[in-house]
Chains A and B, each alone.
Chain A
Amino acid sequence: MIVEFGHYALVLAFALAVLQTIVPFVGARAGDLRQMAMAPNLAFAVFAALALSFAVLTWGYVTSDFSLLNVVENSHSQKPLLFKITGVWGNHEGSMLLWVLILALFGALVALFGSNLPPSLRAMVISVQGLITVAFTGFILFTSNPFERLSPAPFEGNDLNPILQDVGLAIHPPLLYLGYVGFSVCFSFAIAALIEGRIDAAWARWVRPWTLAAWVFLTAGIAMGSYWAYYELGWGGWWFWDPVENASFMPWLAGTALLHSALVMEKREALKVWTILLAILTFSLSLLGTFLVRSGVLTSVHAFASDPTRGVVILGILIFFIGGALFLFALRSSTLSNGGMFHPISREGGLVLNNLILTTATATVFVGTLYPLAVEALTGEKISVGAPYFDATFVPLMIPLLIAVPFGPLLAWKRGDIFAALQRLYVFAGIALIAGLATLWLADGLPLLAAFGVAVGFWLLFGSFADVWQKSGLPKAGFSKAMARLGGLPRSVWGTALAHAGLGVTVLGIVSVSAFQEEHVLRMAPGDTTELSGYSVAFDGASARQGPNYTEDVATFTVTRAGAHVATISPAKRLYTARGMPTTEAGIHTTGFSQIYVALGDPVEGTNQIVVRLWWKPQVTLIWLGPVLMMFGGLFSLSDRRLRIGAPKPSAKRREALAAAE
C-alpha cells in the first residue's frame, strides 16, 4: 500500500511538473501576474511529491520489501542499515529518482530565494526548470520505474554490488548530482533570458551564486569519487581518464569557465552572449554525462543500465534540450546588446584567456571521450583512448593557464599593467624557482618535468595570495593596520585566493605522486619483510573474519622505521556471500601528507605465500586537499555580501578596505 503511494506521488509530480512548465510560461508571455505567481507554489508541490516518492522507495529498502523488483535486485536483508539506505541510489532507477529530486529541489530553491527577481524572469526560470523535470520524471515513469512489483515476492534479495557497499556511496552521488543538476538553474536562467530577450548585469548577479554553489558541490563530488576509487578499487590510482570520470569533469571545466565569465558580465557587462552560451553548454555537458553513464554505451562501474531503449530515450531528451537551447540561442542571441570593450591586457582579458583555455581543454576531453564511440559507429573498429591521449593534449593546454592564474587578480579592470603585476609577483616566482631547484637537488637523477611541476605548484600556491598580500599593505602598513585591512577585504577576494591556491596544492600532489611514487609487487610469506622508501614492512600473517554479509581474509602488516613501530596495516580480501563476489580492501596508512598503500593479491598455490602490492605515495593526499581548499574558496565567495541578493550596498568596513586598496 505504501509503495503505491510512492508510485502515485511520482505520477502526481509528473502532472504537476507539466503545470509548472505551462502556467508560468503562459503567464510570463501574457504578463498575467496571477499565473506567474503560481510558479513558486507549483515548484514547491513538485518537490514535495518527489520527496514523498523518494521517501517511500527508501522505506521499501529499509524494510527490505522484496515485493519491489528494484529492492530485490539491489538489496539484501542482512545488509547494514547505512547500505540499505544508500542502496536506494546505488542502481539505475533509484539514482534517476535522486537526480530528479535534486532537480526539483533546485526549482524550489529558485522559487524560495527568487522573490526579488523580476516576476516574469522568475516565472520563466521556474517554467524551464519544470520542463526538465517533466522530461526526466517521464523517463523514470515510462522506462525505469523503481516501483515495479514482483509477484510472488522472493524471500531474499540479490544484494548490492559489493564495490558500492561503502560510505562513499552515501556521499559521492548526492554531491555529484547537486553539482551536475545545480547547473540546470544556470541553464534555465539562460533560456529565460533568451526568451525574454533581455539580459543585464543584474542577471549575472543572480546567476553567479547558483553557478558557484553547483560548482562547489561538483568539485566536492568529483574529489570524493576520486578518493573513493583510490581506496576501494585497490589499484592505487586516483584518476583513470575513464569516460565516466570525464563525463563529470567536462561540466566542471565548463562550469569553472562560466564562473569566471559571469564575473566579467557582472562587473563590466561584457561577454553577455558568451556567458549565455557557456551556461547552456555547461548543463548540456551535465546531460551528456547523464547519457553516457545511464545509457550503457560505456562499460564501467557506473553503467548500471544497458537496456538500449533507455539509452535512446535519454538521447532523445538530450537532443531536445541541447538542440532546442542552441536553436533558441542562434535565433535570439543577436538581440542582446554588446557590452563594454576592454584592452587585451586587463582583468577582462585575463578572464577571457581563462575561458579560452578552459573551453579548449573541455573540447579535447570531449573528443577523447567520444572519439571511440564515433569510430565504432562509423567503421566498426574498436579502439580505446586512454591516459596517454589526455597527457598529450589536456596537460599541455592547462600549463599556460596554471602559470597565468596568479596574474589575473592583479590586473585592473579595463586596462591592466602586466609589468606592474610582474613586479608584485617576482617574490613568488623566486619561491617557485627555489622549490623547483630544491626538487632537482633532492631527487635522484634529473627529473626536469617533476621540478617544473613542483615550481608551477608553488607558484600557484603562493602567487594566489599576491593580491591579498598587496591589499594588506604589508610590510609598510604595519601589522595591526594590515590585519584590519585583511579583515575588511571582500570575502570573494579571499575566496579567489583560496580556490587558486587549492589548484596549486592539487598540482603539487599530482606531480609528487606521478614522479616519485614507489611500487613493489612481490610474494610474501608470514614473517617476510620488505623495504619501502625507508620503511620496513613486515607481513605478520592472515586470519579469517566474518562480516555482516561477507567473509574476509585479513592480513596484518607491521610498518617500522629504523626499528620504531609506525603503524599496523590490515588489508583484506572479502567475499560477499550473496553474489559470491570478491573485493579487495586496501590497507592505507597516512603519514603527513603521504600514504603507504597495501593491496592483497591471490595466494600462490602450493605455498604459504601471497602476492602483495605495496605503494609509497608521497604527498598523495594533497590531490584531494586541493579540492577541499577550492570548495572553501567557493563557499567564502558565496558568503560575500555582494552576491547576497538584496544587499547591494557595501558595508562601511569594506568601503574603507576598497579605498585602501585603490
Chain B
Amino acid sequence: MTRKQKRFTVIFGALAMLGIAVALVLTALSEQVTFFRTPADVAAAPADSAGRIRLGGLVEMGSVKNAEDSGVEFAIEDATDRIVVRYAGILPDLFREGQGVVAEGKMQADGTFLADTVLAKHDENYMPKEVADRLKEQGYWQGEEASATQ
C-alpha cells in the first residue's frame, strides 16, 4: 500500500463510521423522541399525541384511587382539561395531589392514559420544568420563584 492508499483507508473508514452514526441518529430521533403534552394539548390535537408522550400537569385533588390488580389511577389536569392516568407501579415518594407530575406512556382508545413511568421528583420544591413552564403560560399555576432556587 502506498502512503496515499493508507491515508485513504483511514479517511474512508472515518467517513463510513460517521455515515452510519448519522443514519442511526436520524432514524432514532424521528422515531424515539417523546413529546411533552398537557391535557389541553391532547384535547386540541389528538393526532399529535398518538405515539409515546409525556403527559404533564397537576394531579387532580381527590382523584387518586387504587385500581384493580395493584395499580393506581389518578387524573392529570391543567387549566381546561383532565385525563385519567392508569399506572401499574409504585408512585414516586413525592407524588402528591395538587402537585406537578409527569407521566410517560400512551393514550388509549378509551381516552385514558396508560403510563409506564411516573417521574419522580427529587425535592419537595421541585416542579417538573416542562410542567411549570406550561402551566405558567396558561396562567393556571404561578409557582413560587423562591422555591426554584433550591
Contact = CB atoms under 8 A, between A and B. Distances in A.
Partners in one complex: yes
B32 interface: yes
Contacts of B81: none
A235 B120 contact: yes
A301 B32 contact: no
B96 to A, nearest CB: 10
B70 interface: yes
Given A360-B21, A579-B124, A344 B66 contact: no
B17 A360 contact: yes
Nearest to B5: A344
Interface residues of B, number: 46
A611 B13 CA distance: 53
Contacts of A579: 124
A298 B120 CA distance: 14
Nearest to B9: A344
Contacts of B6: 341-344
A413 to B, nearest CB: 14
Contact of A304 (B29, B88, B150): B150
A367 B66 CA distance: 40
A161 interface: yes
A602 B29 contact: no
B20 interface: yes
Interface in B101-145: 104, 120, 122-124, 126, 128-130, 133-134
A392 B24 contact: yes
A605 interface: yes
Interface in A367-410: 367-368, 371, 381-386, 388-389, 392-393, 396-397
Given A344-B10, A602-B91, A385 B124 contact: no
Interface string A286-329: 00000000000011110011110000000000000000000000
A384 B34 contact: yes
Q: Which of B9, B10, B128 has the most CB of A within 10 A?
A: B10
B74 to A, nearest CB: 12
A306 B132 CA distance: 13
B149 A307 contact: yes
A150 interface: no
A343 B5 CA distance: 9
Given A299-B128, A363-B21, A583 B93 contact: yes
Contacts of B54: 384
B138 to A, nearest CB: 14
B150 A580 contact: no
Interface stretch (A350-358, A436-444, A539-547): A350-358
A371 B28 CA distance: 12
B102 to A, nearest CB: 9
B149 A521 contact: no
Contact of A389 (B29, B93, B122, B123): B29
B130 to A, nearest CB: 5
A353 B93 contact: no
Contacts of A381: 35-36
A604 B91 CA distance: 12
B79 interface: no
B120 A393 contact: no
Contact of A521 (B18, B20, B89): B89
B94 A601 contact: no
Given A299-B128, A352-B10, A364-B25, A601 B91 contact: yes
A386 B24 CA distance: 15
Interface in B21-75: 21, 24-25, 27-29, 31-36, 54, 66, 70
B70 A233 contact: no
A367 B150 contact: no
A613 interface: yes
Contacts of B70: 521-523, 611
Interface string A229-240: 000011100000
Contact of B32 (A299, A386, A521): A386
A120 interface: no
A116 to B, nearest CB: 34
B149 A388 contact: no
A382 B18 contact: no
Interface in A574-606: 579-584, 599-602, 604-605
Interface in A542-591: 573, 579-584
A163 interface: yes
Given A343-B6, A521-B70, A364 B21 contact: yes
A306 B3 CA distance: 54
A388 B24 contact: no
Nearest to B27: A392
A299 B126 contact: yes
A582 B121 CA distance: 11
A613 B87 CA distance: 14
Contacts of A384: 33-34, 36, 54
Interface in A86-144: none
Given A393-B25, A581-B94, A601-B90, A301 B33 contact: no
B122 A161 contact: yes
Contacts of A393: 21, 24-25, 28
Nearest to A344: B9
A161 B123 CA distance: 7
Contacts of A389: 28-29, 32-33
Contacts of A602: 90-91
A580 B124 contact: yes
Nearest to B21: A360
Interface string B4-17: 00110110011001
A521 B71 CA distance: 8
A362 B80 CA distance: 42
Contacts of B94: 581-582
A163 B27 contact: no
Contacts of B24: 364, 392-393, 396-397
Contacts of B25: 364, 367-368, 393
B34 A385 contact: yes
Contact of B13 (A343, A353, A388, A581): A353
Given A389-B33, A396-B24, A522-B70, A584 B88 contact: no
A521 B24 CA distance: 35
A397 B20 contact: yes
Nearest to A356: B17
Contacts of A367: 25, 29
A301 B21 contact: no
A611 B88 CA distance: 11
B99 to A, nearest CB: 13
7 contacts: A301-B122, A341-B6, A392-B28, A393-B24, A583-B93, A602-B91, A611-B70
Pairs of residues from A and B, 6 with the lowest C-beta to C-beta distance, nearest first: A601-B90, A382-B36, A388-B32, A392-B28, A389-B32, A301-B122
Given A341-B6, A367-B29, A383-B36, 8 more contacts: A161-B123, A357-B17, A371-B33, A382-B134, A385-B34, A388-B31, A389-B33, A393-B28
